[in-house]
Amino acid sequence: MLETRDLHAAYGQTRVLEGIDLTVGDGEVVIVIGPNGHGKTTLLRTISGLMAPTSGEVWFAGARVDGRSPDLIATDGLVHIPQGDLPFGDMTVEENLVLGAFPASDWRGRGQRLEHVYGIFPVLGERRGQRARTLSGGERRMLALGRGLMREARMLMIDEPSLGLAPVIVNEVYRHIGTIMRSGVTMLLVEENFSHVHDLDARILLLESGRIVREGTVAELEADEAVMATYLGT
Amino acid sequence: MRSFFQAVVSGLVTGSLYALMTVGMTLIYGTLRTLNMALGAMVLVGGYVSWMLFSGLGWGPLAGLAGAAAVTFAFGVVIQQVAVRPLIGKTGVDFEMTAFISTFAVAIVFANVALEIYGARNKAVPPVVEGRLHLIEGVSVSWHQVVMAGVAIVMLVALGIFLSKTRYGLGISAVAQQLDAARLMGIPVQRVYNLTMGVSSALAGIAGVLLASVFFVSPNAGDLPLLKALIVAIFGGLGSVRGTIVAAYIIGLLEAMISLYFGVKWSLPVLFVVIMIVLLIRPTGLFGKPEEARL
Query: Which of B177, B180, B183 comes nearest A91 by C-beta?
Result: B177
Separation between Cα atoms, residue B219 and residue B224, nearest integer Å: 12
Query: Which of B171, B185, B295 comes nearest A90 by C-beta?
Result: B295
Contacts A75 to B, Cβ<8 Å: 186
Which chain B residue has its CA at the smallest distance from A86's CA?
B181
The CATH fold assigned to A1-77+153-234 is Rossmann fold (3.40.50)
Query: Which of A80, A82, A99 comes nearest B174 by C-beta?
Result: A99
Q: How much is the ipTM here? A: 0.91
Using a CB–CB cutoff of 8 Å, tell me whether A109 touches chain B. Answer: no
Average pLDDT over residues A100-109: 93
Q: Give B17→chain A minimum CA distance, Å.
A: 27
C-alpha dist (Å) from residue A14 to A213, B33, B91, B112: 20, 28, 16, 48
- Please name which of A227, A208, B176 lies closest in space to residue A216, comparing C-alpha atoms: A227
Query: Which secondary-structure segment (H or E) carries B165?
Result: helix B143-165
Q: What is the pLDDT of residue B158?
A: 96
pLDDT of chain B along its 295 residues, tens only?
778 888 899 899 999 999 999 999 999 999 999 999 999 999 999 999 988 888 888 887 778 899 999 999 999 999 999 999 999 887 778 898 999 999 999 999 999 999 999 988 888 887 777 788 888 877 888 888 899 999 999 999 999 999 999 999 999 999 999 999 999 999 999 999 999 999 999 999 999 999 888 888 888 888 889 999 999 998 888 878 888 999 999 999 999 999 888 888 888 888 889 888 988 988 888 777 665 444 4
Rg (CA), chain A: 17
Instruction: Look up residue B270 and give its amino acid.
Output: V
- A149's CB contacts (< 8 A; 6+ apart) are A79, A100, A113, A116, A117, A120, A180
Confidence (pTM): 0.89
CB contact under 8 A, B293 and A95: no
The phi, psi pair for B170, rounded to 5°, reads -60, -35
The phi, psi pair for B130, rounded to 5°, reads -90, 170
Which chain B residue has its CA at the smallest distance from A12's CA?
B91
CB contact under 8 A, B181 and A88: yes
Using a CB–CB cutoff of 8 Å, tell me whether A61 touches chain B. Answer: no
CB contact under 8 A, A91 and B294: no
DSSP 8-state symbol, B80: I
Contacts A48 to B, Cβ<8 Å: 184
Separation between Cα atoms, residue B242 and residue B294, nearest integer Å: 10
Using a CB–CB cutoff of 8 Å, tell me whether A223 touches chain B. Answer: no
CB contact under 8 A, B293 and A90: yes
Q: Give B258→chain A minimum CA distance, Å.
A: 36
CB contact under 8 A, B170 and A89: no
pLDDT digit string (tens) for A137-191?
A: 999 999 999 999 999 999 999 999 999 898 899 999 999 999 888 888 999 999 9
Separation between Cα atoms, residue A3 and residue B17, nearest integer Å: 55
DSSP 8-state symbol, A196: G
CB contact under 8 A, B174 and A91: yes
CB contact under 8 A, A102 and B167: yes
The phi, psi pair for B127, rounded to 5°, reads -65, 160
In chain A, where the domains are located: 1-77+153-234, 84-150
Contacts B90 to A, Cβ<8 Å: none
Contacts B185 to A, Cβ<8 Å: 71, 74, 99-100, 102, 147, 151
Separation between Cα atoms, residue B193 and residue B95, nearest integer Å: 14
Q: What is the pLDDT of residue B129?
A: 78
CB contact under 8 A, A74 and B183: yes
Contacts A103 to B, Cβ<8 Å: 186
Rg (CA), chain B: 19
pLDDT band at A219 (very low <50, low <70, confident <90, very high): confident
Asked if B74 and B198 count as a contact pair (C-beta separation under 8 A), the reply is: yes
Using a CB–CB cutoff of 8 Å, tell me whether A80 touches chain B. Answer: yes
Q: Which residues pair with B217 in a beta bridge?
A: B123
- Please name which of B197, B171, B195, B56 lies closest in space to residue B125, comparing C-alpha atoms: B56
